[in-house]
Amino acid sequence: MQTKLTLRLEEALIKRAKTRARKLGKSLSQIVADYFALLNEDGGKVPPELPPITRSLKGSLRESDVDHGDYLRYLEEKHRWRSMHPTCY
């Protein structure tokens, strides 16, 4: 059963929400309903279900000796190389 809900929001927010809904091809009511469906009972968001491959890899580096600094250095080097070789992509 559907029930009417009245929300009081800033006009600018409503305009942005309507624009977004139009771009997605949905009604504003559907956008709000989709968001509410993501909430669990304690008010937090329900985490999306991970694809099987991602789920199998989750936590696999937890016991490794790779730290955040190593990862940042890797990303810096990766993007430095890409900026010097833009035609390789």
Give the range of the structural domain holding residue 67, as residue numbers without chain letter: 11-48+62-88
Whether residue 56 is contained in a domain is answered as: no
Whether residue 74 is contained in a domain is answered as: yes
Whether residue 73 is contained in a domain is answered as: yes
- How many domains does the chain fold into? 1
Q: Is the dihedral of CA 78, 82, 85, 89 positive or negative?
A: positive
CB 28 within 8 A of CB 18: yes
Whether residue 79 is contained in a domain is answered as: yes
Whether residue 1 is contained in a domain is answered as: no
Enter the pTM of the model: 0.45
Whether residue 25 is contained in a domain is answered as: yes
What residue type is assigned to position 18 of the chain? K
Whether residue 19 is contained in a domain is answered as: yes
Largest CA distance in the chain: 59
Whether residue 5 is contained in a domain is answered as: no
The tens digit of pLDDT for each residue in 38-73 reads: 776 666 666 678 888 988 888 887 788 888 888 889
